């Protein structure tokens, strides 16, 4: 297997381009999943306070015994803690059994409660204090991002958004890139690949490269310059999802997958969620 790729963020920090997502995994499931993931080569784990599995992540990391500087751990500030980001982070750090996280993300803007700028200012302070290495956001639209930048002067290093072949968010991805914000894909396989894995172009590329449809889609994210965090608790799939560094898709193949975009959002609408 070729070496996993890394991405340099605008603050100078580096993160693996491919990580393990643990959404909807129980504490028990996440322990087994992380054990397998670290065994096959993952070093980036993406969790959140809202996932209710930070305890499991923390135990798994402690049991693994890997040097802290080999790991890249992401967690997220939940909506009801936007007015107290320090408290939210301290609770997460205690569960994760860590002194700091590599990336702290605001989970949703929740524009209806209008606390996200205040939360961002708090996250800036947490970074200055060394409790987080990098700070970013999830599910932010252009107007939310622009307001953060205008009112604080600090640009998020990452915007983690729903992104898969059926929902490519190309305008937002391009805006992020223009502002040196790394785009990270959640639900990268469109929640199990429904409507994606059975597409002729995906099946044809899987046959051509001797890969599975999931591996083709993950490679599409990587070759599109995205950070990607496929979620699985199945050991064979965890290994399969990481076995994508020995081939690349060419420009024409990427373009064919781009044609699958139908604007099909599977998750909540960030403009109204959490209100």
Q: What is the CATH number of the domain that holds 205?
A: 3.20.20.100
Q: Which residues pair with 16 in a beta bridge?
A: 6
What is the per-residue pLDDT for 1? Answer: 56
**Top-confidence residue, 108 or 192:** 108
Domain that holds residue 211: 6-258
Tokens of 205: 């590329």
In-domain check, residue 227: yes
> H/E element holding 45?
strand 44-46
Residue 133: inside a domain = yes
**What pLDDT is attached to residue 194?**
87
Max CA distance (Å), the chain: 51
Q: Which two tokens stand for residue 86?
A: 């320090």
Closest of 194, 269, 7 to residue 202, by C-alpha: 194
- Catalytic-residue membership of 51: yes
105 within domain boundaries: yes
Q: Following CA atoms 33, 38, 42, 44 in sequence, which dihedral angle do they give, to the nearest 10 degrees?
A: 80
pLDDT at 192: 87
Bridge pairing between strands 44-46 and 72-77: parallel
107-162 residue pLDDT tens: 999 999 999 999 999 999 999 999 999 999 999 999 999 999 999 999 999 999 99
Number of domains present in the structure of the chain: 1
Residue 225 reports pLDDT greater than 70: yes
Q: How far apart are CA 73 and CA 62, in angstroms?
A: 13
Query: Is 263 inside any structural domain?
Result: no
Which H/E stretch holds residue 74?
Answer: strand 72-77
Question: Does a structural domain hold residue 217?
Answer: yes
- Which entry of 42, 51, 104, 116 is annotated as an active-site residue? 51
Sign of CA dihedral 237, 240, 244, 247: negative
Q: Name the β-bridge partners of 227.
A: 184
User: Tokens 């200055």 — which residue?
Assistant: 128
* Mean of all residue pLDDT scores within the chain: 97
Tell me phi and psi for residue 182, to 5 degrees. -75, 130
Supply the DSSP string of 7-73, one letter for each residue. EE-TTS-EEESB-EE-TT--HHHHHHHHHHHHHHT--EEE--GGGT-HHHHHHHHHHHT--GGG-EE
Q: What is the pTM of this model?
A: 0.97
Alpha carbons 43 and 34: distance in angstroms, whole number: 9
Does the residue 275 lie in any domain? Answer: no
**230 pLDDT tier (thresholds 50, 70, 90):** very high
**3-state class (DSSP) for residue 108:** coil
What number is the average pLDDT over the span 60-85?
A: 97
Rounded to whole angstroms, how far apart are CA atoms 251 and 224?
Answer: 10
Cα 145 to Cα 4, 153, 163, distances in angstroms: 30, 11, 17
**pLDDT for the residue numbered 274:** 86
Residue of 51, 186, 187, 161 whose CA lies nearest to 109 = 161
């Amino acid at each position: 297997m070729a070496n996993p790729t890394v991405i340099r963020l605008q603050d100078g920090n580096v993160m693996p381009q491919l990580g393990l997502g643990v959404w909807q995994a129980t504490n028990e499931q996440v322990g087994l999943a992380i054990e397998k993931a670290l065994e096959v080569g993952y070093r980036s784990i993406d969790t959140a306070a809202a996932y209710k599995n930070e305890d499991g992540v923390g135990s798994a990391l402690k049991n693994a015994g890997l040097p802290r500087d080999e790991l890249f751990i992401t967690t997220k500030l939940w909506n009801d803690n936007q007015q107290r980001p320090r408290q939210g982070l301290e609770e997460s750090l205690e569960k994760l059994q860590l002194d700091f996280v590599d990336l702290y993300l605001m989970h949703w803007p929740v524009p209806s409660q209008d606390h996200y700028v205040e939360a961002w200012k708090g996250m800036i302070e947490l970074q200055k204090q060394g409790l987080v290495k990098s700070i970013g956001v999830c599910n932010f639209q252009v107007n939310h991002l622009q307001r953060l930048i205008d009112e604080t002067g600090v640009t998020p290093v990452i915007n983690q958004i729903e992104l898969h072949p059926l929902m490519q968010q190309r305008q937002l991805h391009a805006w992020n890139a223009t502002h040196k914000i790394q785009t990270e894909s959640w639900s990268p396989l469109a929640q199990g690949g429904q409507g994606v894995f059975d597409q002729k172009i995906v099946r044809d590329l899987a046959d051509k490269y001797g890969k599975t449809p999931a591996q083709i889609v993950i490679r599409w994210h990587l070759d599109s310059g995205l950070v990607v965090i496929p979620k699985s608790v199945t050991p064979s799939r965890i290994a399969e999802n990481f076995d994508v560094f020995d081939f690349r898709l060419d420009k024409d193949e990427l373009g064919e997958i781009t044609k699958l975009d139908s604007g099909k959002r599977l998750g909540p609408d960030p403009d109204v969620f959490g209100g």
